[in-house]
Structure 1
Amino acid sequence: MNRFKYLAIFAVVGICFALTAPKIEAQVTINIGTPPECPYGYYDYAPYTCAPWGYYGPEWFTGGVFVGAGPWYHGPDNFQGYVNNSYDLRRGYKGPTPRVGEKPEPSKRPNQVANFKGNEARDGRGHVVAAKKR
Structure 2
Amino acid sequence: MDHAALIDRFYAAYAARDAAGAAALYHAHGWHDEVAMSKRRTGHQALAEGLEGFWRMLPDVVWHRQGYVRAGSQVAVPYRMTGTFTGKDGIARPIALDGLHLFHLRDGALEGTADLWDLDLFKAQMAG
TM-score range normalised by the length of the shorter chain? under 0.3
Output the TM-score relative to the length of structure 1: 0.26
Which structure features the higher share of helix residues?
2
Identify the structure with the greater strand proportion: 2
Q: State the TM-score, normalizing by the size of structure 2.
A: 0.26
Larger RCO, structure (CA 8 Å, separation 6 or more)? 1
